[in-house]
Amino acid sequence: MLFPKPQADFTPVNNMMIEAVAPKAVMVAVDLKLFDRLSGRSVEPLTLAGEAGLVAERLRPVLDILTAVGLLHLDGGQYTNTPAAEEFLVSGSPLYQGDYLAVTMGFSTSIERSIGDLLAGKEADREGTDHGWSVEQIMDGTAQNALWGGARAVADVAASLPGFKSFRTMCDIGGNHGLYTLGILDRNPSLAGTIFDLPDVARQAASRCERLGYGDRVETVGMDFREDSLPGTSFDLAVTSHVLYAFRDDLPRALRKIADGLKPGGWFISHHYCGSCAPESALREACLEMVTRLAGYPSHFISREQLGEALVEVGFEAPEFHSVPGRDLNLITVARKR
């Protein structure tokens, strides 16, 4: 039969493949600083193209993609930034996310090139991934994401802990850019922080903390938490963000090392992906998990039940759980050492 009649709808798959170009259009717009050029004004494509040295008839569909995804507004033939673009994609904004988008796009692209080989058993480049965390642009990107995402929420939770104003020492395990530490230090002027991370990362973090004016309150220490332990019972508070997933296959061992580094009655805060049963987040969750596993990690998600049981097993009281506003897959877990 020349024209078989479809019994199912292929449209969603077809649309997904066509729309896959949209993230690339957003990234190109960031690289070309189109959102900067549109900041605070409405501009016709011909004018914008002339200012940016681009071809107007080729630029227009890019602008239409940005409009369709909610980053531009079109009125009377003129384009202007939406509030989201103005806040997150104009390079001078305090919450600029351009470097974060570049990091996410670059990491995903590196995995995409090797999906077939990785599924067939090729070893993931964990050493390269570990080194990448010390690259300045990658650290800038993860810092931008922390500003938009969990850093403020974690600092809010830390500041609400009983006796927080009496805390004098805290540590951030896998602290990278240090913003979680700096946000908590801002809430308690008597608190000093130690950032533990891989040696190359720790050196870069030290420069960042010094540049931001916290050099006298933050110590950075090179360590590999997979092998090393914290100094014994010296901290009032320990924090991790998107770190514990790397230890999901043996959470009690990692959490026991954290407990050993806390004073009796000390607090632990974890910020990590928990996952969601909401249909609208199912594809995003599956994509995160695929990239994570192909990158050589066991998972990017830890359930409340799994983390809660492991915390109690190694000597913490029953934990409390907090959501992160606007981040449906994120969870903040708080537990006190017995």
Chain segment 74-83, per-residue pLDDT in tens: 999 999 999 9
**Among the residues of 125-237, which ranges form H helices?**
126-132, 136-148, 150-159, 179-185, 199-211
Report the candidate in 33, 242, 69 with the shortest Cα–Cα distance to residue 154: 242
How would residue 277 be classed by pLDDT, with cut points 50, 70 and 90? low
Using the Cα atoms of residue 259, residue 263, residue 266 and residue 270 in order, give the sign of their dihedral. Answer: negative
pLDDT tens, residue by residue, 228-255 = 999 888 999 999 999 999 999 899 999 9
Amino acid at 86: E
Q: What is the CATH number of domain 128-336?
A: 3.40.50.150
Domain ranges, ordered by start, for the chain: 11-88, 128-336
Q: What span, in angstroms and rounded, lies between the C-alpha atoms of 146 and 153? A: 10
Per-residue pLDDT reduced to its tens digit, 299-332: 999 999 999 999 999 999 999 999 888 888 999 9
For residue range 134-187, what is the model confidence (pLDDT) as tens digits? 788 888 999 999 998 789 999 999 999 999 999 999 999 999 999 999 999 999
Q: Three-class SS of residue 289?
A: helix
CA 171 to chain centre: 19
What tens digit of pLDDT does each residue of 88-146 get? Answer: 999 999 999 999 999 999 888 888 989 999 999 999 887 777 777 778 888 899 999 99
Closest alpha carbon to 249 in 293, 290, 288:
293
Contact 72, 85 (CB under 8 A): yes
Angle at 69 between CA 45 and CA 277, to 5 degrees: 170
Is 128-336 in the same CATH topology as 11-88?
no
Q: Which spans in 32-178 are helix H?
A: 34-38, 45-52, 56-68, 83-88, 98-112, 115-119, 126-132, 136-148, 150-159
Q: What CATH fold (topology level) applies to the domain 11-88?
A: Arc Repressor Mutant, subunit A (1.10.10)
Least Cα distance to 195 among 215, 169, 221 occurs for 221
Counting Cα atoms < 13 Å in the Cβ hemisphere of 244 gives: 32
State residue 223 phi and psi, 5-degree precision. -160, 160
